[in-house]
Structure 1
Amino acid sequence: MTTTPVPSTSAPSPRTRRSRTKAALAAAAAATALLVAGCAGSSAAGHDGHDDRAGAEHSAPASTTSASPSTSAAHSDVDAAFARDMVVHHEGALDMAELAVERASTPEVRALAERVRAAQQPEIDLMQGWLAAWGEDPAGGEHESQHGDQHGGHGADTSSMGMSEQDTAALEAATGTAFDRLFLQQMTVHHEGAVEMAREEQVSGSDPQARALAQRIEADQTAEVAEMAALLAQLPA
């Protein structure tokens, strides 16, 4: 007979663990912005009239989305709102994924949760770095969201912005196959919200790198929605 492990009540929840690191991530993003600004000034002073492409080849990451926004491209309020809102949205997905890594009863669901966690934490760091480089508030704070009543202040539309308290409580209380099913259902709705936000950025955003990230988020999470539908169909009734 297999018993479902119950997490120790003394262990911090995923949300608690994330809150302990939020200040550190914001500080790191600010430090990244200062470094980018310093490097830009140094390059302008030391390479006047010369081709800087060779140096860029050594410093640019392999990813199609750089760790810092282009200094020549002006970002818009839409880009800033997209980055702020998607950071909050990703943090909600990480809370869910971290819980599923610990609690999922099937290896396929656990593997999906691990992939979500591996993909979305670097994207959070990336967007916080952009916000700092743009001179925007990387921590989110009180801001005027591009989504108005739908998303402003992280209000009623919790399916798009993150998990509600009721969602979190239900997921934390579930065990076994019931946990896997609820996780997949909640993450599907959560991903659909991210896809909507990403499409809005691609239509209305200005920063090329923010729009490229939005395109990648739409593609990745659309594929994961299809994967989760297949996993739900495989779960025993």
Structure 2
Amino acid sequence: MTARRTFVRRTALAATTGVAALVLAACGGDDGGHDMGSMESGSGASASTSASASAEAGEHNDADVDFATEMIQHHRQAVEMADLAADRASSQEVKDLATKIKGAQDPEIKTMSGWLTSWGEEVPEDMSSSMPGMDHDMSSSMPGMMGSEDMGKLDKASGAEFDEMFLDMMVQHHEGAVEMAKTEKADGKYSPAVKLADGVITAQTAEIGQMNKMLGKS
């Protein structure tokens, strides 16, 4: 009799434990499901918002690609011209200006190359060192770009002749860059590119005034 009562108690306890486990599992499943769903929903929304913000910040159009591609080549020629001033210019003012131009445009070349890479676009090859003159002729359609003949003359000049030639050519070069930058401001969509274009307009317009003054034109 005692054994039978013990058996009944155990059976009842097992049944109670089983029911309790089922209830807990059901509750836990509901709560966990809601929590997990909430977490997944939250993380999904967060990722979506982040991706959307990133996409918005990175939006660009064909005008931005053209600006970066062409301005890289344009800047490279300006840097090449500035490099010549180091041992050919006679005026310290010209040398200082050349150093300033190179110091501003070298970093911009790197910045714009980074944009093109991030957009999956090709960064234009720098052919000036391997094939002198070719890059100038290929890019002659860009406003303010010097042809290989002009660059050859500048390369052979020195002293006061170099100073005047450098300033004349750089004024034209800067005017072309300003024109390109204005096109980017009007048609571009990528805000960092538009901002860089605005900086080009401000800085190079000021340098045009400085160079014209050095040439005695203003």
> Shift of the alpha carbon at 1:154?
3.9
Higher share in helix: 2
2:70 aligned with 1:85, yes or no? yes
Deviation at 1:138, TM superposition (A): 1.6
Q: How many angstroms does 1:87 deviate by?
A: 0.1
1:125 maps to which residue? 110
Residue 95 of structure 2 is aligned with which of 86, 110, 124? Answer: 110
Q: Residue 217 of structure 1 corresponds to which residue in structure 2?
A: 200
How far 1:103 sits from its partner (Å)? 1.3
**Residue aligning to 2:156:** 173
C-alpha deviations, 1:62-114, integer Å up to 9, x for none? xxxxxxxx642310011000000000000000110000122110100000000
Q: Deviations over 1:16-42 (max 9, x none)?
A: xxxxxxxxxxxxxxxxxxxxxxxxxxx
Greater than 2 Å deviation, 4+ residue runs: 70-73, 153-160
> Is residue 89–residue 159 contact of structure 2 (8 Å, CA) maintained in 1?
yes
The 1-side partners of 2:82 and 2:207 are apart by 13
Following the alignment from structure 2 to structure 1, what is the Cα–Cα distance between the partners of residues 215 and 80? 20
Who is 1:134 aligned against? 119
Unaligned runs of 5+ in 2: 1-42, 127-136
CA RMSD of aligned residues (A): 2.5
Report how far residue 209 of structure 1 moved: 0.8
Would the aligned equivalents of 2:178 and 2:205 in 1 still touch at CA under 8 Å? yes
Contact 1:198 1:215 in 2 (8 A): yes
CA 1:204 to 1:185, structure 2 compared with 1: closer, same or farther past 3 Å? same
TM-score scaled by length of structure 1 = 0.62
The percentage of counterpart residues that share the same residue type is: 40
CA–CA separation in structure 2 for the residues paired with 1:123 and 1:158: 18
Aligned length: 159
Answer whether contact 1:158 1:164 (CA < 8 A) is retained: no
Q: What is the CA–CA distance in structure 1 between the aligned matches of 2:169 and 2:193, rounded to whole Å?
A: 26
Distance 1:138 1:156 in 2: 18
Offset at 1:163?
2.3
Q: TM-score, normalised by structure 2?
A: 0.67
> Separation in 2 of the partners of 1:221 and 1:183?
15
SS at match of 2:123: coil
Secondary structure of 1:233's partner? coil
- Cross-structure match for 2:130: none
Q: Between Structure 1 and Structure 2, whose CA radius of gyration is higher?
A: 2
